[in-house]
Structure 1
Amino acid sequence: MKTFLRSFALIVALLGISVSLSAQVTTASIGGTVTDGKNEPLAGATVKATHVPSGTVYYVSSQVNGKFNISGMRIGGPYTIEITFVGFNPERITNVSLALGEEATFNVVMKEDSATLDDVVIVGERNPIISSNRTGAQEIITRDKMDRMPTINRSLTDFTKLTPMSSGNNFAGTSYRFNNVTVDGASFNNSFGLSSSLGASGTEPISLEAIEQIQVMIAPYDVRNGSFTGAGINSVTKSGTNEWKGSAYWYMKSPSLEGTRQKDVKVPRGDFEENHYGVSIGGPIIKNKLFFFLNGEMDRLSNPVNYRPRPDKNTPTEGTNYSIADEKTLGELAAFLQENFNYNPGTYNVSNTPTQADRITARLDWNINSKNTLSVKYFYLKSFNTNRPSTSGAMPNGRGANKYAIPFSSSYYRTNNNFNIIMADLNTTINDRMSNTLKVGFSALRDYRDMDGGFFPEVNIGDGSSTGGKSTAFTTFGTEANSYNNMLNSDIYQIQDNFTWIVGDHQLTFGTQSDYRSFKNGFANSFAGQWKYDSIEQFYEDARAHLDWVAAGSNPATRPTSNASYYKQVYNASGKEGFPFAETSVLTLGFYVQDKWTITPKFNLTLGLRADIPIFTSSLEHNPIFDGVVFAGGRTIDTAKLPSTKVLISPRVGFNWDVLGNRTLQVRGGTGIFTGTPPYVWISNQAGNNGMLFANVPTKYAFSGEAVMPAPTDGRPAKASIAITDPDFKYPQLWKSNIAVDYKFGNGWIATAEVLYNKDINAIYHVDINHPNLDRSWVRELNGPDNRPYFLNNKLNSEAYDVIMMTNTSKGYSIYTTLQLQKDFIDGPLKGLYVNGSYTFGTSKSVTDGSSSVASSAYKYRPAVNPDADELGYSAGSFPDRILLQVAYRKEYAKCMASSIGVVYQRYMPFRYSYTYNGDVNNDSYAFNDLVYVPKSMDDIRIVKKAGDLRTNEQIWAELQRFILQDPYLKKHRGEYTERNGAKAPYVNQVDLNFTQDFFVQMKNGKRNTIRFSFDIQNFLNLLNKDWGVQQTTVLGNQQYQFLEMTEKPSAANNWTPGFTFPLNNGERLSSTFEDYISSSSRWSMQFGVKYMFN
């Protein structure tokens, strides 16, 4: 660490200026031209911009060509801009508001011999769409919009979804994992990649009350913006001013504020509560000089668990929130564990799960002098939430709680997420042509898991419904397989600097970037053991075999082996005491140069070149067992070797054309390369899964309840699943291009048409290089229409189970078009009305979604025909089209009241899914990842019944045929393989509504004291009618849908043709793909808030 700090300091000293990869632009700027009445430039005119609330003043003089530019300005306003020149009448522009990242343009014509001082109120600049510096796709959400639109979860996502090209947290089809979320330049995305943002699930890393503006950038061609291939989500906090402002607020949800009816189903009210408390205050410490802002907030939530076990097996479940799992069977299982293993698995009647968060945002702003301003921000979070057992590696239909399965409370776990972040930035105006912005920051992120019930193996028990495939889940107990000693310490150091130099018609920007990230990760899947049994009887049989062996004297020579369907347990193979942790670190340097060239007053061109240089500084352990071992493609591996240093070049060009010269018709666009970062957990996988820290327990003995296994003493070498990174691996890169037209008409209406195209250059996917090449003798094709590769031997080498390599592919693309119409009514009879409607359509294809943080899971949960080929499929975030309508209206009346209503309507597709087999059809050792071949006729499928099935093969085919014909996707793709994420869930029509009522007192000094009551209603349509707003989901799971079960593996005996059946679903014929989603998202719910404000 000391060596790094010395090296880092030397780099900074040599370069003079540095910038962080994760930092984005957090200020605004103004520019323009000063001319006289003859359109001649005026050199030396004084431009003074005053931020009225804080008294912050910015000065600059116009250049020889009359141009001026002021950067590093506070966002928001109002500003007053004054232009003076000897012999000319002063010009004054008032009520200017600046958006985040905006460069507002003011072309001023000075008048001679006039005794009148002109007052010009600028209102058009409040909407930064028609702006000379706008090129690519982006959305800006102001504080005013945040106050007027519904926010059901009080999260950034409630507002980023107002971006037309968004789908959940995915943008233009690109996965949320490749977004970059920053607040005041500090990284607020979970760069390690364990979640989409910082903070525990169900909580937010920062209070909405502390946010002034949010900016979503999908294709910004300004090279200062980087570290993402999805979207840059950039927020700026509130700051103090000369006026004292404060608030105290409480927002709550409760069962009485949630609907219980969806169509004919009445759902009992959940047992939960949700409360958010907070205070904010800001004001001057020294007027016009030093200001502060402070926000503190607490979340106290308990989330409902919708499903309960039914009392007994005879109790019907249809139309209820009862699960098929019953209390009698679960109670007997709990008694068995307590009596024979002295283990209490906890309760099976979990009604709610608690979540808690405490957060602080603090900010100081110092106007040092007219040329320098300093801002320091501090962010604090302490949070946890309680999670149901993970669905990763679960039996069909997950681990519950759901309509099929009920887990015991011992399998739940808590994630604790805490952080301390500090950022400081210095904005300096050097002279009329030069300015500089410097940022430095440090983040300490601490995440860990804990749970109740002590350590005990995780046991998954099925319902006994299958003999050839996999049983449906019934219950789970024990320590969640991924949670034993699961922790992560992340430290991030960042420095940023932008130097701007105005040279004639050129605005030049020079910058360099550096950040250093170190991670200490504790993770070992199945360290406490993970077991799967197809039925509870199978578990009892296995456990009793062990108990009988103990009762007989525990002779090692006669220890019984297990009958479990699946068993995995790893042990500490490092030879060191304690639990081994994986430690990785990376230093990323960046350099860029940019020229914003105003070629004519109507047309500007932005040319930029950016270079990102990741340098891995970790020292990993070498595993000698793989020396000389050859894997697929002739590859050899070295577990100590991370990718070599590579320079990643990102050229960009953007343009903006004011066609008519009056800012009514604007053509804009650009093209360029964007370099992001991988989720660093995928890099850390190599450090933690190298065969030197952990290895698999080699022998599957009958269930003993042992949670920690010692290393074997028989001298056998450790054998493990290995994660490795391709030595030629490159950080993700995406080529983005867009073209757009904005047209302003009819007193403020703005119509936009925009097309965005993305093409992968270096996308990421995982491949198992311990699988044999397809041309090897132990790989053959299946016979029949489904002739996919079949692995006669699925491991090339016995030294490891699987060897998952992270590598690159250039396959993948997306194209989206948005048509948008909007207006903010700032005067006239409709003053206070805001309307914004958009229609977006397109598609996105990728090789993988990267849905898991574990290398082996990222590989095995990617549905494919050939699991080791970079097959193109639909991205999880791909959406065919989306309608988004936003309407807000606010009206003051009676001199003491104001009412506001905000509505968001969306018509969208909630998710995509894949049709896969229930079973390992290609013998790659992974079930559920083989895409289905859809038979055209009975000749295309070999039907093999399960034992006890009384149907004839013809009856089974008839039922399968009916199912295929009722499903639009399957019907369309008969005689073909299904596609990854090819199937689409039914569209959702959702209306969310916000209503606020203000009561205020106008003070003599012009200030107000206000009490605000707010109501945020999710799924407002369901409140109006129980049959409306009901979502649908898939009957058999919403990621991988298994309607065909393999009952006989391919072999020479059956001519290499697997046998399948169309199984019963819990004793019933599967006749429909979808069913109504019994969930709170299908019913209306309301958040009530009370807020006191003074200003």
Structure 2
Amino acid sequence: MSKLRLRHLVLLMLTLLSARLGMAQSTTAAMSGIITDKGGAELPGATIIATHGPTNTQYISPTNSEGRYNITNMRVGGPYSVRVTYIGYKDITREGIFLSLGQNQRLDINLSEATEQLNEVVVSGRRDGIMNASRMGSETRVSREQLQRLPTLNRSLNDFVRLTPQANGGTSSSIGGANNRYNNITIDGAVNNDVFGLAPSATPGGQAGTQPIALDAIQEIQVVVSPYDVMLGNFTGGGINAVTRSGSNDLSASIYGFGRNQNSIGKSVTEPRTKADEFYNYQTGARVGGAVVRDKVFFFLNAEIARASTPLGFEPGSSSSSINPTTLAGIAAYAKQRYGYDVGNYGSVTNRTESNKVFGRLDFNLSNNHQLTLRHNYVEAFSDNLTRTSINFRYGNNGYRFSNVTNSSVAELNSRLGRFSNKLLLSYSRIRDRRDTRGTLLPSFSIVDNGNTYLFGTERSSSLNSLNQDIVEVTDNLTATFGKHTLTLGTHNEAFKFRNLFIADGNGAYTFTSLQNFYQDKATRVQAAYATSGDGAAAFKAMQLGFNVQDQYSPLENLRLTAGLRLDVPVFMDKPVYNPLVDNQTAFDSYGDLNTQNVPSGQLLWAPRLGFNYDVNNDAKVQLRGGTGVFTGRVPYVWIANSYTNSGMLQGNLDINNTAYNTSNPNNPRYLSTIETDVTRIPTTYSAGASKTAQINVLAKDFKLPQVWRSNLAVDFRLPGDVIATLEGVYSKTLNDIYYQDANLAAPIGKLAGPDQRPVYASGTARRVDANFTNVYVLKNTDKGYRYNLTAQLQKQFADGLNTSVAYTYGKSKEVNSGFNTTASSNFGFNQIITNPNDPELSFSLNDRRHRVLATAGYTFRYAGDKLATTISAVYEGLAGQPLTYVYGNGTDLNSDGNTGNDLVYIPRDVRDVNEIKLVTTDNRTLAEVQDQLEAFINNDPYLRSRRGQYAERFAARLPWTHQVDVRLAQDFNFQAGGKKNTIQVTFDIINVGNLLNHDWGHQYSVQNNALELLRVESTGNNVQPTFSFPRTIATRSNPWDVASLPSRWQGQLGVRYIFN
């Protein structure tokens, strides 16, 4: 982007900021309506006084010339009382009104003339977040009562995001079939995503095993899928918005603890059934809220610690491990004698996870027209990471500790002045992540022997691995009401500063192909990476500027329209280092103008939206709602940071691999001549034989942030008993999504023979366009893809706030690349294809979830004069199985495109026809036995059976349905202390209660990486019909999946809480 264009954008932003205009993720609620007399005539100049009971905060508004009022920026929750006065008319008061997060409650009131012989009228209100004029798109609200009463094991946001029918459920926070990195998570209106995108949970601290905030600090959660309010944005999945608790005039507090151990978890579900190893996991904390100055200043504090200790398992010498303890002792002794290195623990190991959280909030009623909120959230956490399997053993010092410290501060000022209201929000987040290695610094040693792998030394991805993130937000929202129109003009701006140091193999890595070679110092491979400029870190600054204008128009009492336009502009203040070798390579021209300095800066991303809500009979019995519009999101910034790290100018690497011994060349020894353990000297020690090539990551010149065109249509019916029935459909068409190409992949040289005639590429360096590079990965946009969800739901909201619901959702999600990895090489190489990896087929998403049944219910029994209360609540999830892909395996690249495990299988019409498939046997089975077993396997799988003579599709097969019921039992003991009600509450959460009743129930299923290597490639080549083997490990199984051990067991968590007021 030119300097002139950037200057104009910055000036525009400053102009809008100075005018205090803006938009924000919702932190408040609103109330609006019409005041009329009994004949329906509007009453201009009537006064509405809404009082928030807990804090005595008053919101005062007159009606305009059309008898309308609109009160914005109101506290979430309640109860509210609303008093309406008008000269010559009898006052009326509505009580017991509760406002949900983001809700604009419609409250129309008819006044009676004072001459009528009536007392002041007091009417009780009701909660109604569904039949409401502000509800246009698809959304779910989770109340504080639901947070307190529904079962939860992890006490996380995700445990309650799953209450959204369009969510994928299970452990995923995917919404509407989109990557969870495409969600936008805010707390008190401030971004709370893992913006850089490394954590699978998509939240800060996720890699350290912590939640971003204590659950006891949360007041309410809102999940939006298709909001047509242009103030809500930065997502193409879903928006997850939480608002925190605040204090009130009444002092209230709670001390709590929740915990579980090996005695509150079921046995393994497969034979032999075994008890869980000894572990513990507990959280304990306290919260207190009250008034500093009654009616004026309020405080809320929450502090919580979490501690967990989990045994690693696969102990050497046990039935779960093929590792011999004597072998381990020998390796440890040699490492000490030869390298002076202590390998660490090689017996039983326990991984620890710890976190400390402190949250504080102050609310100031500066006046009836101005409220100020200040809050800070602090999280400190770490998680030990050491993994082992039955055949892979890591010594204790080959692990690492991931640490995170997050500080997040928010200031929010809500103001009202006549027809105008304003919301100003400022926030700053400081996030620090790092890996701490164990033991002294040493290259990583990998020994492969007789099918087992032994690893010691410093973990190869951890010696140079840290991430600093600083995020500043400025949001302002100015709203004004003119007759039937409510206008909003605003800006939302985020500024990011990143510093990511990641050098894989920064300490060097040696490979030995046998224990004998290890003891003789005969390494066959050395890999290392090192900084060539500075310390090799990717450091850059970026902004995402946003502007919007919106009109909410009510042409009729029962019709509300919202029309708005949003503009997002990404700006990058720094560029990757220029690499002339890439820019000057004309062979890359067919992939666009490839320049390592390409960044998506200055692009204008427009997002118009239109929504409506129509109360068909103007009686809140039938409601038609919907809308259409564009939603702009973010990509994880790590995808962009790859271009800064891998420009070919910041880091160098070497890779000497002599496993393939060339006996005809006496100058090519099979083994390295020396083992250098000083990590600083490895690059110079082996420089003579090192590969000089580099991997390049580059962005397409016209790369844009993700965008979808999303539409929904819904109808809500109020049935007898205040049950709400909803039918809703949501459809999203991809406008801009991501996929990758390798510009350095040369054209195919031919194709396979036989029925599968996919292209074949040259092998080795002949596959490269430019020998200076291994791969040149280009991050590009595609408009291929779509997602939709169809939902039918019944729900009832009770007076105590608990929402009972049952919903069925059918969904489908198709895309080109699911983007579930953080590096370009993984997103490209693990994306399964049929023909051309540079033109991947449109297929199903990893987040595709066809069927989902969700039900929640709860009831409280009060007895003994309200001294005792028992609450039972439950959540049921029935899910269609996870997506599954069938690929070729054996570590052999079928089409020689440089990637193994990415080739989708061809399903033969007849396995006994050699023209369809050439099977070979690699064990003591006969060929006929192999053919019979493969035939039986295909016939037993409905998907494979339906695809005979065709290719498998990416993520088109399914694992079995899963069914899980979670239950919470809560017993309250109420008593008076100091003249106020106090409660001791004992809870027991049971996750997957079906498995507690029957160990064959509640099973969860998995396949590693959601891809099964159905056939192994034994031979392949250009114009050659490949040969395949059918692995015995697959052939002897009736199903391709495993029963996931831990998720399939029931788990219980005991909680004790003392509540005093």
Q: Which interval holds the TM-score relative to the shorter structure? A: over 0.9
Deviations 1:235-284 (A, max 9, x none): 00000110101111111111111112526532232221111111111111
Q: Does 1:1041 align with 2:1039?
A: no
Task: Find the residue that maps to 1:171 and give its secondary structure.
Answer: coil
Give the alignment partner of residue 194 of structure 1, picking from 195, 198, 205. Answer: 198
Question: Residue 626 of structure 1 corresponds to which residue in structure 2?
Answer: 582
Aligned-partner Cα distance in 2 for 1:275–1:927: 42
Q: Does 1:485 align with 2:471?
A: no
Change (3 A) 1:1093 1:7: farther
Q: Does 1:57 align with 2:61?
A: no
Worse-superposed segment, 587-596 or 639-648 = 639-648
Aligned-partner Cα distance in 1 for 2:309–2:784: 43
Question: Residue 558 of structure 1 corresponds to which residue in structure 2?
Answer: none
Give the alignment partner of residue 880 of structure 1, picking from 850, 865, 871. Answer: 850
Q: Which structure 2 residues correspond to residues 317-336 of structure 1 after superposition, within 5 A?
A: 317=319, 322-336=320-334
Aligned-partner Cα distance in 2 for 1:889–1:269: 33
Worse-superposed segment, 94-103 or 949-958 = 949-958
Aligned-partner Cα distance in 1 for 2:597–2:427: 31
Aligned-partner Cα distance in 2 for 1:21–1:500: 9
Task: Find the residue that maps to 2:937 and give its secondary structure.
Answer: helix
Contact 1:105 1:131 (C-alpha < 8 Å) held by counterparts: yes
Q: Does 1:543 align with 2:509?
A: no
Give the alignment partner of residue 769 of structure 2, picking from 796, 811, 816. Answer: 796
Question: Residue 420 of structure 2 corresponds to which residue in structure 1?
Answer: 434
Question: Residue 781 of structure 1 corresponds to which residue in structure 2?
Answer: 751
Task: Find the residue that maps to 1:901 and give its secondary structure.
Answer: strand
Question: Residue 663 of structure 2 corresponds to which residue in structure 1?
Answer: none
Question: Residue 819 of structure 2 corresponds to which residue in structure 1?
Answer: 850
Question: Residue 175 of structure 2 corresponds to which residue in structure 1?
Answer: 171
Question: Residue 425 of structure 1 corresponds to which residue in structure 2?
Answer: 412
Q: Which structure 2 residues correspond to residues 829-978 of structure 1 after superposition, within 5 A?
A: 834-865=803-834, 866-894=836-864, 895-918=866-889, 919-937=892-910, 938=912, 939-940=914-915, 943=918, 945=920, 949-978=923-952
Change (3 A) 1:177 1:960: same
Aligned-partner Cα distance in 2 for 1:1003–1:6: 64
Question: Residue 239 of structure 1 corresponds to which residue in structure 2?
Answer: 246
Q: 1:496 is matched by which residue type in structure 2?
A: T
For structure 1, the residue ranges without an aligned partner over 5 or more in a row are 312-316, 390-399, 466-472, 548-561
Contact 1:22 1:227 (C-alpha < 8 Å) held by counterparts: no
Question: Residue 145 of structure 2 corresponds to which residue in structure 1?
Answer: 144
Q: Does 1:652 align with 2:609?
A: yes
Task: Find the residue that maps to 1:308 and give its secondary structure.
Answer: coil
Question: Residue 1000 of structure 1 corresponds to which residue in structure 2?
Answer: 974
Aligned-partner Cα distance in 2 for 1:404–1:180: 40
The CA deviation at 1:789 is 1.5
For structure 2, the residue ranges without an aligned partner over 5 or more in a row are 659-670
Give the alignment partner of residue 766 of structure 1, picking from 731, 740, 750. Answer: 740
The CA deviation at 1:986 is 1.2
TM-score where L is the length of structure 1? 0.90
Give the alignment partner of residue 249 of structure 1, picking from 238, 245, 256. Answer: 256
Q: Does 1:377 align with 2:351?
A: no
Contact 1:20 1:514 (C-alpha < 8 Å) held by counterparts: no
Worse-superposed segment, 969-978 or 952-961 = 952-961
Question: Residue 501 of structure 1 corresponds to which residue in structure 2?
Answer: 480
Question: Residue 133 of structure 2 corresponds to which residue in structure 1?
Answer: 132
Q: Which structure 2 residues correspond to residues 602-641 of structure 1 after superposition, within 5 A?
A: 602-632=558-588, 633=590, 635-641=592-598
Q: Does 1:688 align with 2:645?
A: yes
Contact 1:769 1:805 (C-alpha < 8 Å) held by counterparts: yes
Contact 1:12 1:18 (C-alpha < 8 Å) held by counterparts: no
Q: Which structure 2 residues correspond to residues 12-411 of structure 1 after superposition, within 5 A?
A: 13-16=14-17, 23-112=24-113, 113-124=115-126, 126-167=127-168, 168-195=172-199, 196-201=202-207, 202-262=209-269, 264-311=271-318, 317=319, 322-389=320-387, 400-401=388-389, 403-411=390-398
Give the alignment partner of residue 455 of structure 1, picking from 416, 441, 451. Answer: 441
Contact 1:944 1:1048 (C-alpha < 8 Å) held by counterparts: no
Q: 1:417 is matched by which residue type in structure 2?
A: N
Contact 2:22 2:478 (C-alpha < 8 Å) held by counterparts: no
Question: Residue 553 of structure 1 corresponds to which residue in structure 2?
Answer: none
Contact 1:516 1:587 (C-alpha < 8 Å) held by counterparts: yes
Aligned-partner Cα distance in 1 for 2:266–2:676: 43
**Sequence identity of aligned pairs in percent?**
36
Contact 2:349 2:396 (C-alpha < 8 Å) held by counterparts: no
The CA deviation at 1:945 is 4.5
Aligned-partner Cα distance in 1 for 2:333–2:326: 11
Question: Residue 1010 of structure 1 corresponds to which residue in structure 2?
Answer: 983
Question: Residue 550 of structure 1 corresponds to which residue in structure 2?
Answer: none
Aligned-partner Cα distance in 1 for 2:122–2:629: 38
Change (3 A) 1:475 1:879: farther
The CA deviation at 1:863 is 1.1
Aligned-partner Cα distance in 1 for 2:321–2:203: 32
The CA deviation at 1:199 is 1.5
Change (3 A) 1:148 1:228: same
TM-score where L is the length of structure 2? 0.93
Task: Find the residue that maps to 1:526 and give its secondary structure.
Answer: coil
Deviations 1:610-631 (A, max 9, x none): 0001011113211233341134
Contact 1:942 1:1059 (C-alpha < 8 Å) held by counterparts: yes
Question: Residue 395 of structure 1 corresponds to which residue in structure 2?
Answer: none
Question: Residue 393 of structure 1 corresponds to which residue in structure 2?
Answer: none
Contact 1:48 1:59 (C-alpha < 8 Å) held by counterparts: yes
Aligned-partner Cα distance in 2 for 1:20–1:849: 37
Aligned-partner Cα distance in 1 for 2:237–2:745: 32
Contact 1:271 1:352 (C-alpha < 8 Å) held by counterparts: no
Aligned-partner Cα distance in 1 for 2:20–2:986: 43
Task: Find the residue that maps to 1:15 and give its secondary structure.
Answer: helix
Contact 1:299 1:358 (C-alpha < 8 Å) held by counterparts: yes
Aligned residues: 1024
Contact 1:152 1:1016 (C-alpha < 8 Å) held by counterparts: yes
Deviations 1:467-492 (A, max 9, x none): xxxxxx64444433322221111011
Q: 2:649 is matched by which residue type in structure 1?
A: M
Q: Does 1:727 align with 2:701?
A: yes
The CA deviation at 1:455 is 3.3
Worse-superposed segment, 348-357 or 451-460 = 451-460
Contact 2:50 2:82 (C-alpha < 8 Å) held by counterparts: yes
Worse-superposed segment, 9-18 or 865-874 = 9-18
Question: Residue 979 of structure 1 corresponds to which residue in structure 2?
Answer: 953
Deviations 1:507-545 (A, max 9, x none): 111101211101000112222334566xxxx23354356
The CA deviation at 1:116 is 3.4
Change (3 A) 1:960 1:1025: same
Question: Residue 1024 of structure 1 corresponds to which residue in structure 2?
Answer: 997
Contact 1:19 1:495 (C-alpha < 8 Å) held by counterparts: no
Task: Find the residue that maps to 2:939 and give its secondary structure.
Answer: helix
Question: Residue 746 of structure 1 corresponds to which residue in structure 2?
Answer: 720
Aligned-partner Cα distance in 1 for 2:832–2:386: 25
Worse-superposed segment, 293-302 or 328-337 = 328-337
Question: Residue 632 of structure 2 corresponds to which residue in structure 1?
Answer: 675
Contact 2:656 2:689 (C-alpha < 8 Å) held by counterparts: no
Question: Residue 1039 of structure 2 corresponds to which residue in structure 1?
Answer: 1073
Deviations 1:645-681 (A, max 9, x none): 1100000011101001101100101111000011001
Tell me the C-alpha RMSD between the 2 structures.
2.5
Task: Find the residue that maps to 2:1047 and give its secondary structure.
Answer: helix
Aligned-partner Cα distance in 1 for 2:586–2:515: 43
